[in-house]
Amino acid sequence: MRRISIILGAAMSAATVAPVFSADAEHGKALFVACAACHQEKPDALGPSLKGVLGRKSAALDDFRYSNPMKRANLVWDEAALREYIADPQAKVKGNRMPFDGLHDPKDVDDIVEYIKTYK
């Protein structure tokens, strides 16, 4: 029993020492510049507006022509879905038209999502 207590105590200590990274909206804003090349608020933009995207269903804007895979995806853009999509768009919605390979650094993904949360 004492051995379990020692192991559990060590694990809990390690968990409290582990670095905690918070998302950085300012860094996300800088990264979003690349996204803004396509995702503008104009109806004739290459990608749909991301303004107010959190909580919105995929393929929901009337002024944008979505791909069939995006229409069928039936997603709600919550933070988790955005993170997965930004990290690997083709894995999240196979066959979508977005010509972007994704961001591979989880910190960058978190930072962009943090910025998108302010982008209303």
Do 112 and 24 touch, CB atoms closer than 8 A? no
Q: What is the pLDDT of residues 19-58, one digit of tens each?
A: 456 899 999 999 999 999 999 988 788 999 999 999 999 9
Q: Determine how many CB atoms are found less than 10 A away from the CB of residue 27.
A: 16
Q: The whole model's pTM is what?
A: 0.79
Q: Determine how many CB atoms are found less than 10 A away from the CB of residue 119.
A: 19
> Structural domain boundaries of the chain?
21-118
The model's confidence at residue 6, banded by pLDDT at 50, 70 and 90, is very low
Q: What is the pLDDT of residues 50-102, one digit of tens each?
A: 999 999 999 999 989 999 999 999 999 999 999 999 999 999 999 999 989 99
Class of the CATH-defined domain 21-118: mainly alpha
